[in-house]
Structure 1
Amino acid sequence: MYATEILHNLAHDLGMTYLNYEGYLWEAGQCLEKLFFDHDPEIINNMFRTTGHIYGPFRQYYPIPEREKYKVILMLRDPRDVLTSLYFSSAYTHDIPESQKTKIESAREDAINKNIEDFVMEHSPWVRTNYEHYTKYQFGKKNVLFLSYEDMVIDFSTWLIELFKYLPSKPSEQLRNKLLHGANFEVEENIYSHKRQVKSGEHRRKLQVHTIKQLNLELQDVLKIYGWVKDERQEADELFQLYLSKARD
């Protein structure tokens, strides 16, 4: 959600056109993924221009034509935290536009009727596949800047400097100050708020250790590539300490 605000402000500051296709289609009761795979490629080609526009955010990988001609910002969060957050947003905080009412209410009922452990394991294959697509088609490419969600919430100033350095045009000092002053990642947790919880490592606070171990195994390649698990022995030691702490509690 905050990325949407940043992109919108950047486009205005740089005199570019901002287009949030996912957001527009969502409000209209449609799906960008379906548009990509069900329609004539000419329609997709006409949706994108390699200059003068800022697109996004995209919440999953899409095969946008001529991807190599764009400057791409790839911002990803630890998938274990993504899955944990997905449970709470599905069960409690997703906005329900009238166009999506039936779909969202059904997903909400399904999430509420599951415990969080079962929910994250059920959805982990989709998350893994999506991250694998990012790895195959975007991560490490010359035209792609990788910025982690964790860096954004821990050190927003440095994160913003890296973002601004990568842009084809230099944003104004006024925008920089506006974004710095507007960034607030210290929130009191509220399961009914869209900005419910922003800290990294949420999976360790919400999931049982055995579930984290299962996720670590299923997502091991992704976790290593992006640096969310740097040392397997250290990860094992930390999970053991977490198990002891939860047992004491």
Structure 2
Amino acid sequence: MSAKTLRTRIVEFADRTPFVRPVWSYYRSMQQKDRSRFDTIYHCCTQKTASQWFRGVFADPVFRDHTGLISVPYIDLGLKEARIDQEFGSGTIATHLYIDYPTYRAIPKPARYRAFFIMRDPRDAIVSWYFSARYSHPLVKPVDELRPALQSMEFEDGMIFLIDKLEAYGSFTTQFSWLEAKHDPHVRLMRYEDLAADNRAFLASLLDYLEVDLPETAFDTLYARNNFQTLTGPRKQGEEDIHAHNRKGVAGDWRNHFTARIRDHFDKVMGGRLERLGYTDG
């Protein structure tokens, strides 16, 4: 387990455990240097869009001390079944909400809030899903059903099987639904590709959007604890470990895995809609 993962788990344990929370909250309040002007922030996404990276950033004491926001991770995975009928409460950042845009709009919201959604090339998401479901992800639903199926298939058959599953789960339609948010003043659409290209620049842009003003030393600490190199140790970004949760951390890796047969099936399922998301067939 990486230091970041351990730190995130300790922080989240302290936030949600009744006999620890009062002491932890008091300690954090003594460290607090600034407070967010937003009552709630919503981090929305689909799976395989670096959701655990965001979770670690938002649970980091540096972020907490300069916003006063408590990270509340959303653990339900069903995109089509997701329903959120209550506010998350003032002073929270709802982390990795696996929801479509209509579900987000239906969430009761406070007076001051901000949201963002992470886009990703569906082809890269499929590849990430494949290696995660087959090798590295804990056996929770639906991975507990996908893994034995994928292990029984050749790679091409497994990828085609997974494309159909992700279509059924709503992974692709969820991304399309968020295109409706382009003119929503409370929402910004961001891209996984920008995070993969430059962790530091993306983090700076994210904090700017959320109006989190960190001193340079605090930003450097937050970045140092949450960049790809820190998460993977000696393995550099782009070097693959199919058994690791952070498998590779680059965009465009689908080109290394999509055969003509896989690509034909993907195109059939997408029905020419890919460019609407801002991605090309090249």
**Normalised-by-shorter TM-score class:** 0.7 to 0.9
Cα distance change of structure 1 residues 204 and 139 upon mapping to structure 2, 3 Å threshold: same
State the superposition RMSD in angstroms.
2.9
The answer as to 2:59 corresponding to 1:8 is yes
The answer as to 2:171 corresponding to 1:132 is no
Query: Structure 1 residue runs of 4+, over 4 Å off?
Result: 31-35, 66-69
For 1:150, the equivalent position in structure 2 comes to: 193
- Distance, in Å, in 1 between the alignment partners of 2:271 and 2:64 is 37
For residues 120-170 of structure 1, give each alpha carbon's deviation from its aligned partner in whole angstroms, at most 9, with x where no partner exists.
33134232211122223x344211122211111112232122212111442
For 1:184, the equivalent position in structure 2 comes to: 228
- Structure with the largest fraction of helix: 1
Query: How far apart are 1:180 and its partner, in Å?
Result: 2.8
For 2:97, the equivalent position in structure 1 comes to: 58
Instruction: In structure 2, list runs of 5 or more residues that go unmatched.
Output: 1-51, 230-236
Contact 1:87 1:119 in 2 (8 A): no
The alignment covers a number of residue pairs equal to 212
Query: How far apart are 1:4 and its partner, in Å?
Result: 1.0
Cα distance change of structure 1 residues 86 and 178 upon mapping to structure 2, 3 Å threshold: same
- Distance, in Å, in 2 between the alignment partners of 1:207 and 1:116 is 12
**Aligned pairs for 1:191-210 within 5 A:** 191-210=242-261
Query: How far apart are 1:179 and its partner, in Å?
Result: 3.3
Cα distance change of structure 1 residues 14 and 120 upon mapping to structure 2, 3 Å threshold: same
Kindly provide the amino acid, as one letter, of the partner of residue 127 in structure 1: S
The answer as to 2:217 corresponding to 1:174 is yes
For residues 70-97 of structure 1, give each alpha carbon's deviation from its aligned partner in whole angstroms, at most 9, with x where no partner exists.
311211211111111111111111123x
Cα distance change of structure 1 residues 33 and 73 upon mapping to structure 2, 3 Å threshold: same
TM-score, normalised relative to structure 2: 0.65
- Distance, in Å, in 2 between the alignment partners of 1:8 and 1:94 is 21
SS of aligned partner of 1:57:
strand
Query: How far apart are 1:187 and its partner, in Å?
Result: 5.0
Query: How far apart are 1:213 and its partner, in Å?
Result: 4.1
Instruction: In structure 1, list runs of 5 or more residues that go unmatched.
Output: 236-249
Cα distance change of structure 1 residues 35 and 214 upon mapping to structure 2, 3 Å threshold: closer
SS of aligned partner of 1:71:
strand
SS of aligned partner of 1:14:
coil
- Distance, in Å, in 1 between the alignment partners of 2:269 and 2:182 is 20
- Distance, in Å, in 1 between the alignment partners of 2:207 and 2:116 is 11
For 2:73, the equivalent position in structure 1 comes to: 20
Query: How far apart are 1:55 and its partner, in Å?
Result: 0.8
- Distance, in Å, in 1 between the alignment partners of 2:273 and 2:201 is 24
Q: Which moved more, 1:212-221 or 1:200-209?
A: 212-221
For 1:161, the equivalent position in structure 2 comes to: 204
Query: How far apart are 1:17 and its partner, in Å?
Result: 1.6
User: Please, which of 92, 113, 120 is the counterpart of residue 135 of structure 2?
Assistant: 92
Percentage identity across paired residues of the two chains: 19
- Distance, in Å, in 2 between the alignment partners of 1:139 and 1:208 is 33
TM-score, normalised relative to structure 1: 0.72
Cα distance change of structure 1 residues 202 and 123 upon mapping to structure 2, 3 Å threshold: farther
Contact 2:130 2:159 in 1 (8 A): no
- Distance, in Å, in 1 between the alignment partners of 2:272 and 2:108 is 27
